[in-house]
């Protein structure tokens, strides 16, 4: 069996697979990553572990502790110049985040054409693939929650409160929330327009994907933006499968 782990800034997502069949999956807050070894108390069932880790060395060590002493092959994915049909256009290929790389691999295998790949969690990344599977560049901006919390932390009069989306906010909580949604959607729509392909699909993933989808300008897209769960885990599986061939 394969264990796939997507360790992000806020959450650690995992899936246990037998071949291509997803047996179990789950999510942990990143602060509870030390529970991972206990989750897999019978590591003899696991033959390979494939990981995307952007959460730092402490989390990496917790992952290494899974099946410690069992000699389970452990693979921390790093972006390459070319892999699984995707070519990496980053100026230094290895500096592209492993989560972004795995998501690009998954998106390419999902649509096989020019597309925009958006992941919105702690940060929002907006990455573009050409029609030949080349990563041609992308943006990183604060996620919806981080935009709000950073403003609250940096100002004296703004207070933390959950707002709602309204086109013309009349209180600070709604103004913060609506501003974060509008800024995120505006960046996505702007980057999509730069693709200059009205038929290009948009693949959305991450914890805030469902928040953003309803507020994107649907008139821009020939095909409505699509939310895909576990995009990074799907990319890890594709990478693992190619390595096994």
Catalytic center residues = 99
Instruction: Supply 95's token pair.
Output: 């500096």
Among 92, 89, 122, CA closest to 104? 89
- The CA distance from 110 to 202, in Å, is 11
First to last CA, the chain: 16
Residues in contact with 51: Cβ distance below 8 Å, sequence separation at least 6, in sequence order = 4, 5, 6, 7, 60, 63, 74, 75, 76, 77, 236
Q: Is 12 helix (H, G, I), strand (E, B) or coil?
A: strand
58 closest CA partner among 36, 27, 81: 36
Which strands sit side by side in the sheet containing 202-205, from one edge to the other?
82-83, 86-88, 134-142, 123-129, 115-120, 202-205, 226-227
């Amino acid at each position: 069996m394969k264990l796939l782990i997507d360790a992000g800034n806020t959450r650690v997502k995992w899936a246990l697979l037998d071949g291509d069949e997803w047996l179990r999956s789950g999510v942990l807050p990143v602060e509870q990553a030390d529970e991972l070894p206990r989750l897999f108390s019978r590591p003899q069932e696991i033959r390979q572990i494939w990981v995307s880790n952007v959460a730092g060395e402490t989390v990496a060590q917790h992952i290494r502790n899974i099946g410690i002493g069992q000699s389970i092959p452990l693979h921390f994915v790093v972006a390459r110049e070319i892999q699984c049909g995707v070519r990496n256009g980053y100026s230094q290929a290895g500096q592209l985040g492993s989560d972004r790389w795995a998501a690009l691999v998954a998106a390419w295998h999902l649509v096989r054409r020019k597309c925009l790949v958006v992941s919105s969690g702690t940060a929002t990344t907006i990455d573009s693939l050409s029609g030949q599977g080349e990563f041609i560049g992308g943006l990183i901006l604060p996620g919806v929650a981080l935009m709000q919390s950073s403003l609250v932390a940096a100002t004296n009069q703004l207070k933390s409160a959950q707002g709602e989306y309204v086109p013309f906010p009349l209180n600070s909580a709604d103004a913060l929330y609506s501003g974060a949604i509008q800024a995120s959607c505006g960046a996505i729509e702007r980057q999509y327009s730069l693709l200059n392909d009205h038929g290009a699909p948009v693949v959305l993933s991450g914890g805030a994907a469902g928040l953003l989808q309803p507020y994107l300008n649907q008139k821009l897209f020939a095909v409505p933006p699509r939310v895909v769960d576990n995009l990074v885990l799907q990319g890890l599986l594709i990478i693992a499968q190619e390595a096994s061939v």
